[in-house]
Structure formats: structure tokens, C-alpha cells
Amino acid sequence: MTVLGFEITGYQLAFVVLAGVTLGSAAMVVLMPNILRAALFLGLTLLGIAGLYVLMNAPFLAAVQVMIYVGAVTTMIILAIFLSHRFMQVGFTQAIYNPVFAFGAAALMFLFLFITVANSVWVKDITAAGPAQTDVGTHAVAYALLQPYVFPFELASVVLLVALVGAVTIAKEDRPDEP
């Protein structure tokens, strides 16, 4: 199809839309003076990234992203904001510090990364469009997690358990009069 005189495929159009949503809301995350709105924009950013995962042939990762990041992490951050309601006031702690210096450093970093990406030689002979030849779907993820990567997989579950118990212990209110 043709958009604004450019010949692009539907996938490219989807990529441009998703990347625009992702980057636009990411910019709002760092610039919003109200921290609650920044957290909500983080949810939108993560949804856009889930869409990008779909474009990269990783539907399982997209579902995981929506469930864990959009569903759990964003909710947890919003709950933490509610638990300490004074963060929500637009005030001193929400201010933007040293924007010029920070923008310069970030732009320099991007320039470095972009020059590296643009000047690298990528494999040119994988041009045929179509679905992936090898299985990279949910079945392959399950096989990979339970066969070659089973030890890190089990280790990750132990890490999660330790982290959750630790989080409860840290956040628990200390009441000295309790038995």
C-alpha cells in the first residue's frame, strides 16, 4: 500500500504505529510532572512493546509482557504510589533536574548507538518474506525452558520466592508492641 507517497507493507505500517506509541508514551513517562500519570503512561509503553514482540514472531513473550509488566508491575507501582499519597502532589520531588545536561548525555548515547547500528554489516541474504522457518513459538519456548535452560529456570523461581518473601519482610510495618 502507499502512504504519503511511500510504498510500505502492512507490517511496516504496524511497526511505525507501535513504535510511535511506545516512544511517545516513553517520553511522557520521563517528562510527566505527575508521577501517577507517568506510571499510567508506562503501562501504555509496555503495551506498545508487547505489540513489537508480536512483530518479532514472539507471541508468547507478548502475552508474558502483557500479564507480568502491564498487569502486575504497573499495578504494583500504582499501588505503591497510592500507599504514599504525598508523591502524587506536583511539587519538589517531581521536578526535572538538569534537563539540558541529561538531554545532551542521552543524545550522545543515542548517537553512539545509532552510528554503531547503522555502520554494522547485517546478514543480507535473509530477504525472503514469510513466516519463520524454524519453530520459535510457544512450543519451542516451553522446550527450551525445560530442556537446556532448566537450571536457570528453577533458579529464577527461587530468586522470585526469595524476592517476594524479602519484599514482604521489608515492607512490613514494625510494631514493637506486637508479641
Partner 1 sequence: MSHSTYGIPITWFLTVGALLFCIGLFGLMVRRNAIGMLLSIELLLNAANINFLAFGSYLKLPTITGQVFAIFVITLAAAEAAIGLAILINIYRLELHIDADKITAMKL
Residues numbered 84 to 143 that lie near partner 1 (CB under 8 A) are 84, 86-87, 92-99, 101-103, 105-107, 109-110, 113-114, 117-118, 122-134, 136, 140-141, 143
Cβ density class 9-28: b for 16+ within 10 Å, e for less: eeeeeebeebeebbeebbeb
| Radius of gyration for the chain, computed over Cα atoms and rounded to the nearest angstrom | 22
Locate 173 and state its grid cell: 510495618
Q: Which is nearer to partner 1, 3 or 152 (CB)?
A: 152
Q: Which is nearer to partner 1, 2 or 122 (CB)?
A: 122
Locate 114 and state its grid cell: 545509532
Site membership for partner 1, residue 47 (CB under 8 A): no
Locate 66 and state its grid cell: 502483557
The nearest distance, CB 5 to partner 1, in angstroms, is: 18
Site membership for partner 1, residue 53 (CB under 8 A): yes
Distance, CA of 81 to CA of 94 (rounded, Å): 13
Q: Which is nearer to partner 1, 4 or 170 (CB)?
A: 170
The nearest distance, CB 179 to partner 1, in angstroms, is: 21
Q: Which is nearer to partner 1, 5 or 83 (CB)?
A: 83
Residue 88 phi, psi dihedral angles, 5° rounding = -70, -20
In the window 147-166, what residues touch partner 1 (CB under 8 A)?
149, 152, 156, 159-160, 163-164, 166
Locate 162 and state its grid cell: 526469595
Q: Which is nearer to partner 1, 4 or 118 (CB)?
A: 118
Locate 52 and state its grid cell: 513489537
Site membership for partner 1, residue 11 (CB under 8 A): yes
Crossing angle, helix 74-83 and helix 35-55, to 10 degrees?
Answer: 180
The nearest distance, CB 34 to partner 1, in angstroms, is: 10
The nearest distance, CB 151 to partner 1, in angstroms, is: 12
Distance, CA of 106 to CA of 118 (rounded, Å): 18
